Amino acid sequence: MPRQTTIANLLLLLVAFIWGSTFVAQRLGTAHVGAFTFNAARFLLGAAALLPVAWPRLREEFSLRPALLLGGSLLAGIFLCAGINLQQLGLATTTAANAGFITGLYVVIVPFIGRFFGLRYGPGVWLGAALCIVGLYLIGVSGKMELVPGDLWVLAGAFAWAFHVLVIGWLAPRIDSFALAFGQTLVCALLSLAVALIGKTLDMSGIMAAIWPLLFCGIITTGVAFTIQVVAQKNTSPAHAALIMQLETVFAALSGWLLLGETMSLRGLVGAALILAGMLVSQFWHASRG
């Protein structure tokens, strides 16, 4: 496996760890403020944290390829905003177990959609995706899975996440990572803020009550992790990136166990092992085939 690909995979593993750990902060934050307000504040903080580093790169990219920078930021930001907020809308009428499992389906949606854009993946990717889906089911769905209307929102969000991974995979080699990360973050923040204002759900007192979770989610999860994702996807395919980032589910379960006292059953441990196996099968099969 090329050194650049190995580094990219390790960076995506770090992204999965940060996103999984964010589960605790999101649960604490949304107890005080609504989804669109939380996401607006979170992504505005992320954009502010990125601005000092991104500013000179933004100026350079804007002078060289303004259409690609603006169009790419808008497209990535729309899918990012849709993925986060559609999932939250679905959680109003579905269970966290259903939402987690359905969102994880993007690991299969990414290579499936990628085929329509000329991307081809070997059997290792499809086997790895299948193992991840079974693992997600074991972790997230403890009993009979009954579909409810909210599941359609979550499924739409899974497609949004899939398109986001594909868009980043295409844009990352063409635009400076910090410029793209800032652009998509700002677009997501402004879209979430617009919906919060239109829906009259903007709550400043709630924002202050959730300030510590917001600072973590805004600076670390949004400012740092999404930037690392853009950097890493320069040197790996969207399908492999999606498989590695599925470890977010495992890290979420571990952080819930360590920080919130939640338990993880043998079934959940087996599911986590299958997700890890899916990632390894994809990577090593891919590497052995060149």
Could you report the per-residue pLDDT of 214-241, keeping only the tens digit for each? 998 899 988 898 889 888 888 887 877 8
Overall average pLDDT of the 101-127 stretch: 76
Query: Taking 60 as the threshold, does the pLDDT of residue 202 lie above it?
Result: yes
Distance CA 276, CA 67 (A): 39
Is 182 in contact with 54 (CB distance < 8 Å)?
yes
Provide the 8-state DSSP code for 87.
H
Q: Which residue has the tokens 């400012």?
A: 223
Instruction: Evaluate if residue 137 carries a pLDDT over 80.
Output: no
pLDDT in tens, 93-102: 665 556 666 7
Work out the burial of residue 204: count CB atoms within 10 Å of its CB; fewer than 13 is exposed, 13-18 middle, 19 or more buried.
exposed
- Chain-wide mean pLDDT for the chain? 80
Q: Is 287's pLDDT higher than 50?
A: no
* Residue 87 confidence (pLDDT): 78
Q: Please give the average per-residue pLDDT across 117-130, as a whole number.
A: 74
What is the rounded CA–CA span in Å between residue 181 and residue 168?
Answer: 10
Cα distance between residue 134 and residue 136, in whole Å: 5
pLDDT digit string (tens) for 9-66?
889 888 888 877 776 676 677 778 888 888 899 999 999 999 999 999 999 999 999 9
CA 122 – CA 248 distance, rounded (Å): 24
Query: Would you state the pLDDT for residue 145?
Result: 54
**Helical axes 106-116 vs 238-245, angle rounded to 10°:** 180
Over 70: is that where the pLDDT of 92 sits?
no
Structure-token pair, residue 25: 């902060």
Average pLDDT over residues 185-190: 96
Alpha carbon 215 to its chain centroid, in Å, reads: 18
Residues 6+ apart with CB under 8 A from 179: 54, 57, 58, 60, 61, 69
